[in-house]
Amino acid sequence: MGQLLHTLPEGEPVRGVTLLAGEIYLLREKVRDQVEVYDVITYRLQRRLTVPGARYFNDMTSNAIWFTHMTSCEHNRCVYFGDDSGLCVHRLDVHGAVTRWYVSDLSLGLSVNAAHNVLVTCPWARKIKEFSSHGDLLREVTLPDDVIHPWHAIQTRSGQFIVCHGGRYHPVNRVCMISADGRHIVHSHGGQRGLDTDQYNWPLHLAVDDNERVFVSDSVNSRVTLLSPTLQYVGQVVSPDQLRRGPAVRLYLDTQRRHLYVAENEWNEEQRKVTSGRVVVFSV
């Protein structure tokens, strides 16, 4: 079980969290100053950044918080995040310069592979699109037919993909390892949506450590599950008792420090929307 280390300030709903150049980047659902930057050691706020042209972050709708991921690349020294209203990805470098490129599909999951390219998961198209750091489309991988509504994909060192898929309206919720060509499911964990250790309820986000163990944000169950490199159940690293605001929507694993950043948002049932969010830091 992960040990609680720190909680970043509560505020507007959290869209994503990542690290770059010794700083924590946190994306909130706001009209301005969407990106908050914190020191990774002291957790003190360093600055706030406004992303020009970002449209979807301003949309305070009931389901908006599920869509949009954030990731970073130390090699290219930049942060990426999606903007589904504009069907595009924004690129923010460490100096604050922002550019963007179009994906042409609704894009939910973002990750960076060993080649320092950006992987964009497109749920309705059931595709993973690989882009260069500046938005050149390099290839598209079509996922198997039974991988319904993929949320997030990470590519392993061997070239295979770890993909989480399924949600509230899908009977199958699971994590799959998929061959490098996208055609075959090699391993899987999960199945029928539920609460048991071999089940998920909206597996939304992934992180992989240096040993290729997989951390899964089981969002509606408000927990983080740890799987082996072949997707066997290892245990629960963050429990619902440690996440009391609501759904665990985003993860970032600092492999150097063994710190897991978990973004959680409070769901207001009466308003049918998320109303606030925070990031909780665990030692794993």
Residues 157-169: tens digit of each pLDDT: 999 999 999 988 8
Q: Give 49's Cβ-side CA count (13 Å radius).
A: 22
* Angstrom distance (rounded) from CA 79 to CA 98: 10
The percentage of residues in the chain with a pLDDT greater than 70, rounded to a whole number, is 93
| Per-residue pLDDT at 68 | 63
SS3 64: helix
* Angstrom distance (rounded) from CA 267 to CA 125: 28
- Torsion angles phi and psi, residue 2, rounded to 5: -70, 150
> Which pair of tokens denotes residue 18?
């990542």
Residue 185 lies in domain: 3-283
The CATH code of the domain that includes 263 is 2.120.10.30
pLDDT range class, residue 86, cuts 50, 70, 90: low
pLDDT range class, residue 215, cuts 50, 70, 90: very high
Other CB atoms within a 10 A radius of the CB of residue 233 amount to: 14
- Torsion angles phi and psi, residue 245, rounded to 5: -85, -30
* Angstrom distance (rounded) from CA 161 to CA 98: 29
Query: Using one digit for the tens of pLDDT, what is the confidence trace for 8-26?
Result: 999 999 989 999 999 999 9
* Angstrom distance (rounded) from CA 251 to CA 266: 16
What single-letter amino acid sits at 33? D
| Per-residue pLDDT at 269 | 78
How many domains are there within the chain?
Answer: 1
> Which pair of tokens denotes residue 229?
């490199």
Residue recorded with tokens 């360093």: 46
pTM (2 d.p.): 0.94
Strands 233-238 and 223-227: antiparallel
Q: What is the DSSP letter of 32?
A: S
Q: Concatenate the DSSP letters of all residues of 116-178 into one string.
A: SPEEEEETTTTEEEEE-TT--EEEEEEPPTT--SEEEEEE-TTS-EEEEE--TT-SEEEEEEE
Q: Is the pLDDT confidence value at 233 over 90?
A: yes
Per the DSSP assignment, residues forming a β-bridge with 99 are: 91
Per the DSSP assignment, residues forming a β-bridge with 122 are: 127
Q: Concatenate the DSSP letters of all residues of 161-219 into one string.
A: EEEEE--TT-SEEEEEEE-TTS--EEEEEEEESSSSTT--S-EEEEEE-TT--EEEEET
Going through 13-60 in order, the beta strands assigned E by DSSP cover 14-20, 23-28, 35-39, 45-49
